[in-house]
C-alpha cells in the first residue's frame, strides 16, 4: 500500500490532471487505486467536480470527495462563508489510512497550494502528508513565476521534514516560450533531481485511451510512466 499527496504551487497548476494520470497508469498495471479530495471548493451541489474528471480520464471509480464548498476560497474560508464546520484533516487521515489498508495506491489531491488553510487553526495539506507519512508530488506551472513558487513550496516541504516525490509541470505548452524552456533547468536544480514529468496542455480534453498514452509519456518511471527528462530537455533549445 502507498499514499501519495499531490499538491500544487498555485491554483490551476494541473493537480487534477496529474492525479488522473497517476491513477490511469496505476490502473493500467492492474493495481487497485483510490483518489481522495479532502476539500472541493468553488463547485456548487450537483456540479461536476475534480473527482468526476479523475473518473472520466482515468477510469478509476474509487474516488472520494470528503467535503464540498460552493465558494472558490480556501477550504477554511469556504467553510466559514458557508457557516459549517471546517474539514478535519485528522479525520481525513483516518479515512485515507483505512483505504490504504485495502488499496495499492491512494492519491490525495490537495486544494490550491501546499500551505492553503483547511481550518481556523491553520492546518494544511502539508500537515495531512505528515500525518500519513506520505511523499508529496509538487505540480507546477510552466511560465512566469513558476520557479519562485516552486522554490517556496520545496522550502516549505523541507522545513516540515516532508519527502518530495518529484516536480511535475502540469500544463506544458505545445509551443513553449523562452520562459518555460528556461525554467526547466531551474526547476531541476531546485528539486536536486530531474523533472518527474510534464503533462501536455489540453490533456484534460482527451478521451481516456489517448489520455493514458499521454500520461505514460508525461510521467517519470518512478511514477509509473516512461517520461525521459533528458529527451524532454533535448526536444527544445533555450
Residues 6 or more apart whose Cβ sits within 8 Å of residue 44: 70
Pairing of strands 2-8, 135-140: parallel
- The owner of cell 490511469 is 24
CA distance 96 to 90: 10
CA distance 126 to 177: 32
* Grid coordinates of 224: 509509473
H/E segment holding residue 167:
strand 164-172
Enzyme catalytic residues: 37
CA distance 3 to 145: 29
Q: Which long-range contacts (CB under 8 A, 24 or more apart) does 68-71 make?
A: 68/39, 68/40, 68/41, 68/43, 69/39, 69/40, 69/41, 69/42, 70/42, 70/43, 70/44, 70/45, 71/41, 71/42
Amino acid at each position: 500500500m502507498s499514499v501519495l499527496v499531490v499538491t500544487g504551487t498555485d491554483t490551476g497548476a494541473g493537480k487534477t490532471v496529474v492525479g488522473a494520470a497517476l491513477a490511469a497508469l496505476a490502473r493500467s498495471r492492474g493495481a487497485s487505486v483510490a483518489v481522495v479530495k479532502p476539500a472541493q471548493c468553488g463547485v456548487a451541489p450537483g456540479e461536476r467536480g475534480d473527482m468526476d474528471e479523475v473518473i472520466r480520464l482515468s477510469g478509476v471509480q474509487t474516488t472520494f470527495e470528503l467535503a464540498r464548498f460552493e465558494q472558490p476560497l480556501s477550504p477554511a474560508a469556504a467553510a466559514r462563508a458557508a457557516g459549517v464546520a471546517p474539514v478535519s484533516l485528522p479525520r481525513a487521515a483516518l479515512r485515507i489510512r483505512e483505504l490504504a489498508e485495502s488499496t495499492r495506491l491512494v492519491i490525495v489531491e490537495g486544494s490550491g497550494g501546499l500551505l492553503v488553510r483547511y481550518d481556523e487553526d491553520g492546518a494544511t495539506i502539508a500537515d495531512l502528508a505528515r500525518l500519513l507519512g506520505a511523499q508529496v508530488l509538487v505540480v507546477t506551472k510552466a511560465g512566469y513565476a513558476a520557479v519562485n513558487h516552486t522554490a517556496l513550496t520545496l522550502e516549505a516541504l523541507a522545513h516540515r521534514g516532508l519527502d518530495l516525490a518529484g516536480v511535475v509541470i502540469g500544463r506544458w505548452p505545445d509551443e513553449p516560450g523562452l520562459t518555460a524552456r528556461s525554467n526547466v533547468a531551474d526547476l531541476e536544480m531546485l528539486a536536486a533531481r530531474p523533472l518527474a514529468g510534464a503533462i501536455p496542455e489540453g490533456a484534460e480534453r482527451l478521451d481516456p485511451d489517448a489520455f493514458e498514452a499521454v500520461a505514460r509519456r508525461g510521467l517519470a518511471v518512478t511514477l509509473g510512466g516512461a517520461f525521459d527528462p533528458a529527451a524532454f530537455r533535448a526536444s527544445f533549445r533555450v
